[in-house]
A and B are shown apart, each in its own frame.
Chain A
Amino acid sequence: MSTQPDSASAPATSSRAGKYLTFFLSGEEYGLEILKVSEIIGLQPITRVPRMPDFVRGVINLRGKVIPITDLRKKFHMEANGTEDTCIIVVQMKGVQTGIVVDRVSEVVAIAEADIEDAPSFGAGIHTEFLLGIGKAAGRVKLLLDIDKVLVTSELEALAAAQSHAA
């Protein structure tokens, strides 16, 4: 199978095909569009920001810029468990830089549209709206994240939480 995105034949859905940076979270492998990733940095001292929901770990100094850090484990309601490989992926969404904490960065893979399936519905309680789809590469399943949706919902939730806290 081809790893090249076939944009001419399927313009409507071809946007999902492309290169993904994969990383591990609690044993599951996730993928992030490589174009959204600006860099990967080691875990560094994070300044906690008060009155924020727990998945907002705080802010760090990225070469003079203050960027917020989201803990994806907490965001996805997994158990907090830092490892030596824990690192921060800095993503760029709509010009805003944000860091996400992941367990371990794996590799960069190219996934063709044909190898991406829509996320199945698991029924109530399991949110899949921030999944672009589920990719298959080298016999493994990679959950492809729509990072804009992940972080946008986090922002909205954070705001809502802060407001209910203040009220």
Chain B
Amino acid sequence: MAGYVLIAARDPWDGPEQEQVFELAGSLAKERDSVSIYLTENGVLAARAGGGERWLAPLISRGVSVFADPFALAERGISDDRIVSGVVTAPIEHLVDLLAEGQSGLWF
């Protein structure tokens, strides 16, 4: 069964609606073999160590793959050594590859 890649492009601190992508990822992870989150734009703010663990650590422990766009990280001055443990930086080409593999993409 094909998996999902959820593209999180909004600042999760911007309001409760912006956290829905993480809730959905957790729910899907119970049902599907492959669930990924691709953080881009302001969504990479969730990858900051010391802040984003509340959303990402539980998902990573459940097997959700969490990727962060290095372009978006650099735009926001977030260095690779200051991101949540378990988050993998992956260029946008990786998102293209996930889509080409047939992962259903949902943009938040």
**A and B bind:** no
A-to-B contact residues, CB < 8 Å = none
B-to-A contact residues, CB < 8 Å = none
